Amino acid sequence: MPLNNYEYFLLMPQIIIGVGIVLSVLIEIYTKKSEQILPWFSIAIFFATAFYSVFNINQNFVLFGGMIEVGGKPAIFNFIFNIGAALVVLSSIDYLKKYGTYFGEYYILIQSSVLGMMVMSGAKDILMIFMGLELMSICFYVLAGINRKKFSANEASLKYFLLGAFTTGFIVYGIALIYGATGTTSIQNLVENFVGYSSNIIFILGMILFLIGFSFKIATVPFHMWVPDVYQGSATTVTSLMSTTGKAAAFSVLIIILSAVFSFNAPNVFSPYFATISALSMLFGSIVAISQNNLKRMLAYSSIAHAGYMAIGLAAGNIFSVAGIIFYLAAYAFMNIGAFTVISIVEGENDSRTDLNSFAGLNAKSPILAATMALFMFALAGIPPLAGFFGKYYVFIAAIQSKLTWLAILGVLSSVISVYFYIRVVVFMYFKDATEDFKINISPYSLIAVVITALLILVFGILPDTLMNVITSVLH
Amino acid sequence: MDQNLLLTYLLLTPIIGSVLVLFFKQEQKQLIRWFGLAISLIAFVISLIIYFGFDQTNSQFQFIHQVTWIKSLNISYHVGVDGISLLLVLLTTFLTPLTLLSTWKAIEKNVKMFTFSMLFLEVGMLGVFISLDIFLFYIFWEAMLIPMYFIIGIWGGERKIYAAVKFFIFTMFGSLLMLVAIIWLAVYASSLLGHFTTNLIELYKVGPTIPHEIQSWMFGAFFLSFAIKVPLFPLHTWLPDAHVEAPTAGSVILAGVLLKMGTYGLIRFCLPLFPQSAVNFAPVISVLAVIGIIYGALVSMVQTDMKKLVAYSSVSHLGFVVLGIFAMTVESVQGAVIQMVNHGLSTGALFLLVGVLYERTHHREISFYGGIAKLVPLYSTVLMIAMLSSIGLPGLNGFIGEFLILIGSFKSAVLNSWWFTIFAASGVIFAAVYMLWMYQRVVFGEVKNEELKHELTDMNLREMIVIVPIFIFIIWIGVYPSTFLKLTEASTQSILQQVGSYTINLFK
């Protein structure tokens, strides 16, 4: 058991972000140039946190009387959240001007949401999970409607808020029932007595409600209704944050709450539940995405499908599947941030130019944007050797190890369906001539973000071990 | 120089080449063309060095190079060749420079990206033929889709988008089911060997021990993927579209090498990994192959578009190959391998020659032509040779392959019936019908179209340089096939040995 002062030292990542938020508020209040300072300050904070987490990945402790875990698995999640957020901030710098809005709050809210995610991924108590979740979600509700003058953004924000509040109801009710059945909110206790609790109907009911709540957050069918409108209506950079790091945070909670199953081989009583939502999400997401002409909406449905693939890992419920899910989340985060950043570059004022037609002939206008977008699309479609393929590969292995071959087969079938709409983007960019005449102002910052994500996808695709070794080392 | 690194050098050459192409300027078209040609010629030279260093009496894999790649899954970069794959490697490296050379005039748009795609495609094709790790094989198998997709989609004809997307989705459908089977196989191997593995040589021992019913499903998943690629009737519908819409270079590579990946997969994976199922399903598959032979020939007969005619003739020819593989005799499998090469050469030549006409007149309909013998005598002669080779005239390559397959299937212990041979042989006759009829309508008679007199010019030097090397091999295989048969003999026997040791005696 570490000393008390040492506990604060270990909690440094959360503290850095926390102090960063306070400083950002001060910068916003007291300087006139906050527009120039804040983004770079946020990026510095995120990088500091990410690298501090990674370098102390082996310092795996549970702090504050079993409340929060540091190092190990949470460290990897912290890395994903922070690098993801840093890339999103980088791509926001010029986007916000074009989007017609600049508020210092934007960056502060992103920092706060990341803090929420970090609390979630490290939680060792159900109440910590809830706290982190609310911190993240409330920031997202505001971020979704950051442009208050725009109708679609308001709609997105309100829709997200109402459904989010509804979800919170499920989760709180679930927590109450779990507490009622077990008399504690400690995850540790849950893990140790999972098998015993599993025969308690109240506990199972509470867990199901809790899982349903998080099924909303990871955007799986039938709890996906908010996704398309919110993803389309929000600012593109906000969407890229919500759809990647937000999803990763929700998955980290599901892994924590089921850690008895994953790490201690308890029987996976919830496997049928996850198998069902996974199968529905994969098929629904892939099929409906085919008919979308708006790229943001298409990626929203693709995000539902990807949540389905990752849920295969939850259904499989072995130690390998956790590694698979984390790898998938990292890969997905970079693919999606990359794709949304390209969209944010092409996007014009007032939400214009997010349709497929605007991407026609992109190769002639900007070969680098077209090439990277094609890379993201192929990666999302799961073509080897790109990172997205290995994400799928790992969860499929987990599924087959757990004798869920049928789920893996459904997975590949929906992958085939999804290939259609991903390569349709490539068709427009390369095979068709431009129909709309406009010039793209490529923001250098956004372009850097795109190139970084593209490189990461290539590296994780060609040398998946670079990431996988880190993940497996903390799981054992 | 370490011999075992040769295959890696072979693979690296087009990889480095394709990356370097990106550094050229878009306007330096001629330079890029020469560069692409040079790179593909270097690859050809390396493959020749491998050929001369290859021990033909040895049935084992040679030039093996293994480096751990993904440790967590025990996947390694593991390459090597036996006689069969070496022959196909040679076919690939031989056709790629010729194809590149053939496009010098036809491709004017975005030469840089075209050369990049072609070299990238070569990497994929070579990788498929030399991988000894199933997972590595799968990576190349899939990665090769992307350049082909671009080649059809960017430089293709009117309905290029439809054809490109159809090609992509058909192939993807099959290969993803194969992916599930690959994972299942590796997981099964881990229960047997104690470690997760995708090493092909280890899996050869694992595959035959899979319980019967599951093995059938595994076989089915692999077979479906390969059968789509071959393409076997009734999964062939993507082929005519892809061929007709693809640019000439795309068609040549598609017919010459890509389709061979399917039949190669059948020999390398389906037969030795799942011998019991392969023998069980052999009669059914052979029926489909024979239907393909006759159907392809009959449909060719009624085509009005020359390219489509050649495309459907591929369905027919590949039917022979599949029949040869599943007859499982030494003659028929060797015949099938030779037939793969033959088809690559003669159909490749036919597509090139149709391309030559199309470049000049922008017409491919048979009815547009007529009487061109008087206008372009050299071209007419060249076309005649390519056509006769495709028909299977004795003395040219096509005959050897078809003959061996027919003999093999006649005495096959697995098929155990003459009917396959009898019906398949009719395909040879039909081939003569549709080819000669097409030739007659295009080349002989009066000049129908006045336009032709202005537009049509005879073969130029560059086109002859492309076509002559192909003819050399067409005649070489036809007259002295032992050069090539010897190369594949030991490997073929070893594969049949593997199948036979788990099922029935295949050597009568």
Query: Judging by DSSP bridges, how do beta strands B75-81 and A61-63 pair with one another?
Result: unpaired
| Beta carbons within 10 angstroms of residue B483's beta carbon | 12
pLDDT (average), residues B422-451: 84
Asked if B139 and A408 come within 8 Å (Cβ–Cβ), the reply is no
* Coil vs helix vs strand at B64: strand
Asked if A384 and B146 come within 8 Å (Cβ–Cβ), the reply is no
Flag whether A312 is in a domain. Answer: yes
* 3-state percent helix, strand, coil for chain A, nearest multiple of 5: 80, 0, 20
Contact B366, B438 (CB under 8 A): yes
A384 to chain B, minimum CA–CA distance in Å?
Answer: 5
DSSP string, A177-203: HHHHHHS--BHHHHHHTHHHHTT-HHH
Distances (CA, A) of A169 to A18, A202, B23: 27, 17, 57
Residue A401: both structure tokens together: 């190890």
Q: How many domains does chain A have?
A: 1
DSSP state for residue B396 in the 8-state scheme: S
The pLDDT, as a whole number, for residue A152 is 85
Flag whether A18 is in a domain. Answer: no
Distance between CA atoms of A213 and A175, rounded to whole angstroms?
11
Flag whether A219 is in a domain. Answer: no
Q: With a CB-CB cutoff of 8 Å, which residues 437-466 of chain A face chain B?
A: 464-465
Flag whether A21 is in a domain. Answer: no
* Coil vs helix vs strand at B446: coil
**H helix intervals, A227-294:** 227-233, 236-241, 247-257, 259-264, 271-290
Angle formed by the axes of helices B83-102 and B29-53, nearest 10°: 160
Distance between CA atoms of B407 and B279, rounded to whole angstroms?
19
Flag whether A449 is in a domain. Answer: yes
| Beta carbons within 10 angstroms of residue B87's beta carbon | 24
Listed in sequence order, the residues at least 6 apart from B26 whose beta carbon sits closer than 8 Å to its beta carbon are B110, B111, B112
Residues of B in contact with A426 (CB under 8 A): 149, 153
Cα of A54 vs its chain's centroid, Å: 19
Distance between CA atoms of B214 and B92, rounded to whole angstroms?
35
Asked if B143 and A383 come within 8 Å (Cβ–Cβ), the reply is yes
Flag whether A120 is in a domain. Answer: no
A287 in B contact zone (CB under 8 Å): no
Contact A282, A408 (CB under 8 A): no
Asked if B146 and A378 come within 8 Å (Cβ–Cβ), the reply is yes
A305 in B contact zone (CB under 8 Å): no
Terminal Cα-to-Cα distance of chain B (whole angstroms): 43
Asked if B160 and A431 come within 8 Å (Cβ–Cβ), the reply is yes
Flag whether A6 is in a domain. Answer: no
The pLDDT, as a whole number, for residue B205 is 84
Using CB atoms, which residue from A396, A419, A430 is nearest to B169? A419
Asked if B172 and A427 come within 8 Å (Cβ–Cβ), the reply is no
Asked if B180 and A412 come within 8 Å (Cβ–Cβ), the reply is yes
Asked if B153 and A431 come within 8 Å (Cβ–Cβ), the reply is yes
Asked if B169 and A416 come within 8 Å (Cβ–Cβ), the reply is yes
Q: Which three-class secondary structure string do you get for B250-277?
A: HHHHHHHHHHHHHHHHHHHHHHHHCHHH
Using CB atoms, which residue from B70, B165, B179 is nearest to A464? B70
Distance between CA atoms of A163 and B153, rounded to whole angstroms?
43
User: From first to last of its 476 residues, what are the pLDDT tens digits of chain A?
Assistant: 555 777 788 888 899 999 999 999 998 888 888 888 889 999 999 999 998 888 888 888 888 888 888 888 899 999 999 999 999 999 998 888 877 777 778 899 999 999 999 999 999 999 999 999 999 999 999 999 888 888 888 888 999 999 999 999 999 999 999 999 988 888 888 888 888 888 889 999 999 999 999 999 998 988 888 999 999 988 899 999 999 999 999 999 999 998 888 877 778 888 999 999 999 999 999 999 988 889 999 999 999 999 999 999 999 888 888 999 999 999 999 999 999 999 999 888 777 788 888 888 888 888 889 999 999 999 999 888 889 898 998 899 899 888 888 999 999 899 989 988 998 898 888 888 888 778 888 888 999 999 999 999 999 988 888 888 888 888 87
Asked if A384 and B173 come within 8 Å (Cβ–Cβ), the reply is no
Of all residues in chain B, the one with the smallest CA distance to A473 is B72
pLDDT (average), residues B47-75: 85
A418 to chain B, minimum CA–CA distance in Å?
Answer: 10
**H helix intervals, B246-365:** 248-253, 259-265, 271-273, 275-301, 306-327, 330-361
Contact B322, B263 (CB under 8 A): yes
Top residue of A404, A426, A462, A474 to mutate, by most chain B CBs within 10 Å, is A426
Which residue pairs, CB below 8 angstroms and at least 24 apart, start in A6-13?
A7/A61, A7/A63, A7/A64, A10/A56, A10/A59, A10/A61, A10/A63, A10/A70, A10/A71, A11/A63, A11/A68, A11/A70, A12/A52, A12/A56, A13/A49, A13/A52, A13/A53, A13/A70, A13/A75, A13/A78, A13/A118
Nearest to B424 by CA among B232, B284, B231, B291: B291
Contact B261, B229 (CB under 8 A): yes
Residues of A in contact with B176 (CB under 8 A): 412-413, 415-416
> In this complex, how many residue pairs, one in chain A and one in chain B, have their CB atoms less than 8 Å apart?
78
Distance between CA atoms of A421 and B183, rounded to whole angstroms?
26
The pLDDT, as a whole number, for residue A133 is 93
Q: With a CB-CB cutoff of 8 Å, which residues 343-382 of chain A face chain B?
A: 378
Of all residues in chain B, the one with the smallest CA distance to A424 is B165
Listed in sequence order, the residues at least 6 apart from B273 whose beta carbon sits closer than 8 Å to its beta carbon are B185, B203, B204, B207, B208, B218, B219, B222
pLDDT (average), residues B329-341: 89
State yes or no: pLDDT of B357 exceeds 80.
yes
Asked if B187 and A412 come within 8 Å (Cβ–Cβ), the reply is no
The pLDDT, as a whole number, for residue B506 is 67
The pLDDT, as a whole number, for residue B1 is 57
Contact A91, A344 (CB under 8 A): yes
Terminal Cα-to-Cα distance of chain A (whole angstroms): 20
Q: What percent of chain B has pLDDT over 70?
A: 99
Residue A306, domain extent? 270-476
Region label for A355, one of left (φ > 0), alpha (ψ between -120 and 50) or beta (otherwise): beta
Listed in sequence order, the residues at least 6 apart from A163 whose beta carbon sits closer than 8 Å to its beta carbon are A216, A225, A226
State yes or no: pLDDT of B99 exceeds 70.
yes
Asked if A431 and B180 come within 8 Å (Cβ–Cβ), the reply is no
A46 to chain B, minimum CA–CA distance in Å?
Answer: 30
pLDDT tens digits, one per residue of B468-494: 898 898 889 888 888 888 888 888 888
Strands (E), B404-468: none
Of all residues in chain A, the one with the smallest CA distance to B172 is A416
B350 to chain A, minimum CA–CA distance in Å?
Answer: 27
Flag whether A417 is in a domain. Answer: yes
